[in-house]
A and B are shown apart, each in its own frame.
Chain A
Amino acid sequence: MKYLDEFRDGQKATVLIKEIKALVSTMTITAARPLYIMEVCGGHTHSIFRYGLEGMLPKEIELIHGPGCPVCVLPMGRVDDCVSIAEDPNVIFTTFGDAMRVPGSKKSLLQAKAEGADVRMVYSPMDALALARKNPDREVVFFGLGFETTMPSTALTVLQAEAEGIRNFSVFCNHITIVPTIKAILDSPGLQLDGFLGPGHVSMVIGTAPYAFIANFYKKPMVVAGFEPLDILQSIWMVLKQIKEGRADIENQYARIVPDDGNAPALQAVSRVYELREFFEWRGLGSIDHSGVKLRDEYVHFDAEQKFAIPNLKIADPKSCQCGEVLKGVIKPWQCKVFGSACTPESPLGALMVSSEGACAAYYQYGGVKRYKEAV
Chain B
Amino acid sequence: MNVAPFIHTRKLGKVSVSTVTLAHGGGGKAMKDLIDDVFVASFDNHALAPLEDQARFDLAELATHGDRLAFTTDSFVVDPLFFPGGDIGQLAVCGTVNDLAVGGAAPLYLSCAVIVEEGITVDMLRRIAHSMAKTAKDAGVQIVTGDTKVVQRGACDKLFITTTGIGVIRKGLALGVDTARPGDMVLVNGLLGDHGAAILCARGDMAFDTLIESDCACLHGLIEALLTAAPGVRFVRDATRGGLATVLNEIADASQVAIEIDEAVTPIREQVKAFCEILGLDPLYLANEGKIVVIAPPEQAAAALAAMRAHPLGEGAGIIGRVSQGEAGRVTMRTVFGGRRIVDMLVGEQLPRIC
**Chain A: residues with CB nearer than 8 A to chain B?**
1, 4, 8-10, 13-14, 43, 46, 49-56, 70-71, 96-101, 110, 121-123, 127, 145-147, 149-150, 201, 229-230, 344-346, 355-357, 364-367, 369, 372, 375-376
Select which of A43, A52, A365 is within 8 A of B335 by beta carbon: A52
Q: Are B342 and A366 in contact (CB under 8 A)?
A: yes
B344: A residues at CB distance < 8 A = 364-367
Interface residues of B in 260-276 (CB under 8 A from A): 264, 270, 273-274
Select which of A13, A344, A346, A367 is within 8 A of B342 by beta carbon: A367
With A49-B341, A372-B342 as given contacts, are A10 and B355 in contact (CB-CB < 8 Å)? no
Interface residues of B in 339-355 (CB under 8 A from A): 339-342, 344, 347-348, 351-355
Rounded to whole angstroms, the CA-CA distance of A56 and B334 in the bound complex is 12
**Chain B: residues with CB nearer than 8 A to chain A?**
205-207, 264, 270, 273-274, 277, 279-280, 326-327, 330, 332, 335-342, 344, 347-348, 351-355
A110: B residues at CB distance < 8 A = 348
Task: Give the nearest-CB partner of B326 in chain A.
Answer: A376
B351: A residues at CB distance < 8 A = 97-98, 100-101, 121
A149: B residues at CB distance < 8 A = 355
- Nearest chain A CB to B314's CB is how many angstroms away? 25
- Nearest chain B CB to A340's CB is how many angstroms away? 12
With A345-B347, A367-B330, A367-B342 as given contacts, are A10 and B354 in contact (CB-CB < 8 Å)? no
Task: Give the nearest-CB partner of A361 in chain B.
Answer: B347
Rounded to whole angstroms, the CA-CA distance of A367 and B341 in the bound complex is 7
Task: Give the nearest-CB partner of B264 in chain A.
Answer: A10
- Jot down 27 A-B pairs with beta carbons below 8 A, ordered by A: A1-B273, A1-B274, A1-B277, A10-B338, A43-B355, A46-B280, A51-B335, A52-B335, A53-B339, A56-B337, A96-B354, A97-B352, A97-B354, A98-B354, A101-B348, A110-B348, A123-B205, A123-B207, A127-B205, A127-B207, A201-B355, A365-B342, A366-B342, A367-B341, A367-B342, A375-B327, A376-B326
Q: Are B339 and A98 in contact (CB under 8 A)?
A: no
A366: B residues at CB distance < 8 A = 341-342, 344
Q: Are A55 and B340 in contact (CB under 8 A)?
A: yes
A122: B residues at CB distance < 8 A = 205
Q: Are B339 and A56 in contact (CB under 8 A)?
A: yes
5 A-B pairs closest in CB distance: A52-B339, A367-B342, A97-B351, A97-B352, A345-B347
Q: Are A52 and B341 in contact (CB under 8 A)?
A: yes
A100: B residues at CB distance < 8 A = 351
Q: Are A51 and B341 in contact (CB under 8 A)?
A: yes
Task: Give the nearest-CB partner of A233 in chain B.
Answer: B337
- Nearest chain A CB to B282's CB is how many angstroms away? 8
B330: A residues at CB distance < 8 A = 367
Q: Are B337 and A13 in contact (CB under 8 A)?
A: yes
Q: With A10-B337, A56-B338 given, name 14 new contacts (CB 8 A).
A: A8-B336, A13-B337, A46-B353, A49-B341, A52-B335, A99-B354, A121-B352, A122-B205, A229-B339, A355-B353, A357-B353, A367-B330, A367-B341, A376-B326
Task: Give the nearest-CB partner of A5 in chain B.
Answer: B336
With A1-B270, A1-B274, A372-B342 as given contacts, are A356 and B353 in contact (CB-CB < 8 Å)? yes
Select which of A4, A98, A146, A230 is within 8 A of B277 by beta carbon: A4
Task: Give the nearest-CB partner of B352 in chain A.
Answer: A97
Rounded to whole angstroms, the CA-CA distance of A53 and B335 in the bound complex is 10
- Nearest chain A CB to B5's CB is how many angstroms away? 50
Rounded to whole angstroms, the CA-CA distance of A229 and B336 in the bound complex is 10
Rounded to whole angstroms, the CA-CA distance of A98 and B347 in the bound complex is 13
- Nearest chain B CB to A124's CB is how many angstroms away? 8
With A345-B347, A376-B326 as given contacts, are A52 and B337 in contact (CB-CB < 8 Å)? yes
Q: Which of B207, B264, B338, B340 has the most CB of A within 10 A?
A: B338
Task: Give the nearest-CB partner of A201 in chain B.
Answer: B355
B273: A residues at CB distance < 8 A = 1
Task: Give the nearest-CB partner of B355 in chain A.
Answer: A149
Task: Give the nearest-CB partner of B258 in chain A.
Answer: A376
Q: Which of B270, B326, B344, B355 has the most CB of A within 10 A?
A: B355
- Nearest chain B CB to A146's CB is how many angstroms away? 6
Task: Give the nearest-CB partner of B339 in chain A.
Answer: A52
Q: Are B341 and A14 in contact (CB under 8 A)?
A: no
A50: B residues at CB distance < 8 A = 335, 341
A70: B residues at CB distance < 8 A = 354-355
With A1-B270, A1-B274 as given contacts, are A52 and B354 in contact (CB-CB < 8 Å)? no
Q: Are B337 and A51 in contact (CB under 8 A)?
A: yes
Q: Are A145 and B348 in contact (CB under 8 A)?
A: no
- Nearest chain A CB to B296's CB is how many angstroms away? 24
A355: B residues at CB distance < 8 A = 353-354
Task: Give the nearest-CB partner of A122 in chain B.
Answer: B205
Rounded to whole angstroms, the CA-CA distance of A73 and B250 in the bound complex is 33
Select which of A123, A356, A365, A372 is within 8 A of B206 by beta carbon: A123
B270: A residues at CB distance < 8 A = 1
Task: Give the nearest-CB partner of B334 in chain A.
Answer: A52
- Nearest chain B CB to A357's CB is how many angstroms away? 7
Select which of A13, A54, A145, A367 is within 8 A of B354 by beta carbon: A145
- Nearest chain A CB to B258's CB is how many angstroms away? 9
Q: Are B339 and A55 in contact (CB under 8 A)?
A: yes
- Nearest chain B CB to A342's CB is how many angstroms away? 16
With A1-B273, A52-B341 as given contacts, are A146 and B335 in contact (CB-CB < 8 Å)? no
With A1-B274, A367-B330 as given contacts, are A146 and B354 in contact (CB-CB < 8 Å)? yes
Rounded to whole angstroms, the CA-CA distance of A321 and B252 in the bound complex is 32
Task: Give the nearest-CB partner of B273 in chain A.
Answer: A1
Rounded to whole angstroms, the CA-CA distance of A357 and B280 in the bound complex is 11
- Nearest chain B CB to A347's CB is how many angstroms away? 10
Rounded to whole angstroms, the CA-CA distance of A156 and B335 in the bound complex is 38
A230: B residues at CB distance < 8 A = 337
Task: Give the nearest-CB partner of B278 in chain A.
Answer: A123
Q: Are A10 and B352 in contact (CB under 8 A)?
A: no
Task: Give the nearest-CB partner of A69 in chain B.
Answer: B354
